Structure 1
Amino acid sequence: MKKPRLNWNVEPWSDNEHLECVMVVPETRDTTTFIFRAPSGAWFDYQPGQFVTLDLPVPGGNVQRTYTISSSPSRPLSISVTAKAQADSIGTRWMMDHLKPGMRLKAYGPGGIFSFHRHRAPKYLFISAGSGITPMMSMTTWAWDQAQNADITFVHAARRPSDIIFRERLEQFAARVPGVQLRFTIEEPEPYITWTGYQGRLNQLMLGLMAPDYLEREVFCCGPEPFMQAVRDMLIALGYDMDRYHQESFGAPVATEAEAPVIEDIAPDEDARAQITFAASGVTAACAETDTVLAVAKRSGLNIPSGCTFGLCGTCKIRKTAGDVHMVHNGGISDDDIAEGWILACCSNPMGPVTVEV
């Protein structure tokens, strides 16, 4: 294979030139990094956290797939994308099965607005899950290469320890600078692998332990939509200034500010009125949306057994038979229970008229 010329006199790479794959690096059992260079020797100019769109020659016709750039523009002679194969994947599956060094692809970009270059701050909190780690890796590498000793708390959620993408590289960064603090949480351990970090879904309690000063940090979040929704719910409930929250879509990165979707999260309003009917007791009480079901019950002279009062122990689990609540819990209730109508009274806010079996 002919080596590309490293010519600093040429212009930065533009998408009128194909990318040439020069290396394929396995990251985890289902995740691979593909490294590209420009055949002309052009260098790459982009913001850490941006994405590139690849034109992939899959059977049946080319498809375009967008991938966050996992490399950093501080290392401009190549560009990398890190892809995780999903069950229904077409483009990524083709890349893993067929893309080899020496092959060339048409590409478009770079583009996107998800970058800490657009939101300068003294302290950052990166929160990611799965392959949502890729823009965070790009931004962290940039901070490392700039030798700025940036203050970054990096929180990442994965299914198992072996599924943590870039784990060794991030640990190398963190071991050499005091400003990078890593916090990993997994859903389940693996046999014969010692795990001493956090375990379970990311929740408010974990976040407070991982980043006690989260209110002071600029937050960047990337992962599956349910994960990002849970993060937003946590931050809103904790009183975080959501003007300082930034997220990248796991499925379709946003190219411009005008294309950014309007996030309309549910948040209890202290001026909005609600009502709770305790069916078994024959009591109906007016309240505000910011009141919890547990607080309204106590105020009405009713007893709902409770323990921790922040959604962890599950003692106050009761069944809701009508209406909607906004519940931000810390692991004290399962998804199956929620689907069957159960709620935790201590962390459920009534959103209008609600009926519970108490």
Structure 2
Amino acid sequence: MNVRNAIARLNNEAKPWNSHRELLECTMVLQDSANVKTFCFQTADASLFRYLPGQFITLELEIDGEKVFRTYTLSSSPSRPLCLTITVKAQPGGRVSNWLHQNLKVGDFVKAHGPSGIFTFHNHVADKYLFLSGGVGITPVLSMTRWLFDFGTHTDVTFIHSAQTPSDILFRHELEMINARLPEFKVAFVCERADPYGAWTGYSGRLNQLMLELICPDYQEREVFCCGPEPYMRAVRDILRKSGFDMARYHEESFDVPVHDETETIERHDTVVDAQASAQVDFTVSGKKVSCRESDTLLSAAREAGLHIPSACMFGVCGTCKVKKTAGEVHMVHAGGISDEEIAEGYVLACCSNPLGEVAIEY
């Protein structure tokens, strides 16, 4: 039997994967970066994997005599149904992720349940999408991207991926290849810092509103899918809310609490500035107090009090308007103009900080 006939016979006779009775065999382990690996699986009878791009499976493993369950989003696409892949980062202290990296090898069998999940653009069909991912959170939107590419849909997609360094960018060459071949697909990378002894000419720092507008000027018109660590997704939600984006068109997936169906949708307790709520800013050095709204910035409150806080960019980029908060709470959506250490010491950026109730500023 020649290869073509064998493939045709396989496609005609293969049955869908039944997670209740079939184990997955690890057929390949790929090293994606220093601490990220992709594990590829098939079934013994070459069953076809059917799922929606963006969904996840739950692995059932035995570690040190204990049965352990962990969910992993599929990085593969259902358009390539003979193979199922998960991409796993070895987390510091991560019991399961480190076990997989150190123990799972080609030829091993694992039990998996699924597929599950509602994080897929099949549930939110649109003409234009914005995919946002941080770190290994790239997996579900990569699955969607592969599906769109394989089916030749020519869908308008902007894909922005954030990583710590250029070496940590996952699937960079594949995404750049799709970007080069499809005019409807645009990819951009944002790195917090360059590699040691290396150069990085792309976007630097953390994703902020200014970057978003430069990379994707029409993001307000797009359906947004976001996945990554919770601090990353919280920052994205802050950016979109501040810009007036319709959050009904924002969708996210959490690795901490994967959502199986609509009844499990996570309620986020983000700080949302209330334009009708009153606030007060006490400038302790000058002895001036000013009443304002939560939607006002500390900078505008200072100007109302007749005070001049030096400022320049007005986007939270330059750090010129840095002041120290000595009491109260503010909501700050900055663009990298302040360090985590400075924030821990009480400093805020006046141009992008909203007072929540009564706030004291050392100025």
Shift of residue 10, structure 1, vs aligned partner: 4.2
Measure the CA separation in 1 of the matches of 2:104 and 2:325.
Answer: 52
User: For 1:264, which of 269, 284, 291 is the aligned residue?
Assistant: 269
Matched to 2:12, the amino acid is W
SS of structure 2 residue aligned to 1:287? strand
SS at match of 1:323: strand
Identity score, percent:
54
What are the equivalent positions in structure 2 for 1:235-246 lying under 5 Å apart?
A: 235-246=240-251
Quote the residue 2:19 is aligned against: 15
CA distance in 2 between counterparts of 1:195 and 1:308 reads: 23
Q: Residue 177 of structure 1 aligns with which residue?
A: 182
Alpha-carbon distance, 1:195 to partner: 2.4
Give, as a single letter, the amino acid of the residue that structure 1 aligns with 2:241: I
* CA deviation after TM superposition for structure 1 residue 94, in Å: 1.9
Code of the aligned partner of 1:105: V
Matches within 5 A, 1:140-179: 140-179=145-184
Q: Indicate yes or no: 2:203 matched with 1:195.
A: no
Give the gaps of 5 or more residues in structure 2.
Answer: 1-5
Question: 1:200 and 1:142 mapped to 2: Cα distance?
Answer: 30
For 1:160, the aligned partner's letter is: T
Instruction: Work out the CA distance in 2 between the residues paired with 1:357 and 1:11.
Output: 69
Letter in 1 for 2:202: G
| Matched AA of 2:337 | G
Determine the C-alpha separation between the residues in 2 that align with 1:206 and 1:346.
17
Q: 1:194, 1:264 → 2: CA distance? A: 39
TM-score of the superposed pair, with normalisation by structure 1: 0.96
Instruction: State the one-letter code of the partner of 1:269.
Output: D
Distance 2:321 2:245 in 1: 26
Instruction: Give the aligned partner of residue 3 of structure 2.
Output: none
Alignment partners' CA distance in 2, 1:341 and 1:20: 52
Secondary structure of the 2:66 match is: coil
Q: Which deviates more from structure 2 when the two are superposed, residues 122-131 or residues 6-15?
A: 6-15
Instruction: Provide the residue aligned with 1:65 in structure 2.
Output: 70
Q: How does 1:1-358 map to 2 (within 5 A)?
A: 6=10, 8-16=12-20, 17-191=22-196, 193-358=198-363
Q: What SS class does the counterpart of residue 13 from structure 2 fall into?
A: coil
State how many pairs are aligned: 356
Do 1:7 and 1:42's aligned partners in 2 also have CA atoms closer than 8 Å?
no
The CA deviation at 1:193 is 4.0
CA distance in 2, matches of 1:236, 1:347: 13
Q: Deviations over 1:193-217 (max 9, x none)?
A: 4422111111111111111111111
C-alpha RMSD over aligned residues: 1.6
Any idea what the Cα deviations from partners look like across 1:104-143, whole Å, max 9, x if unmatched? 1111000011111111111111111110000011000000
Distance in 1, Cα, partners of 2:12 & 2:134 = 37
SS in 1 for 2:10: coil
- Counterpart-to-counterpart distance in 2, 1:78 and 1:135: 16
Q: Can you list the C-alpha shifts for 1:268-303, whole angstroms capped at 9, x where unaligned? A: 121111111111222221111111111111112112
**Which residue identity is paired with 1:101?**
V
Question: 1:302, 1:192 → 2: CA distance?
Answer: 44
Distance 1:100 1:296 in 2: 60
2:290–2:304 Cα contact (<8 Å) kept: no
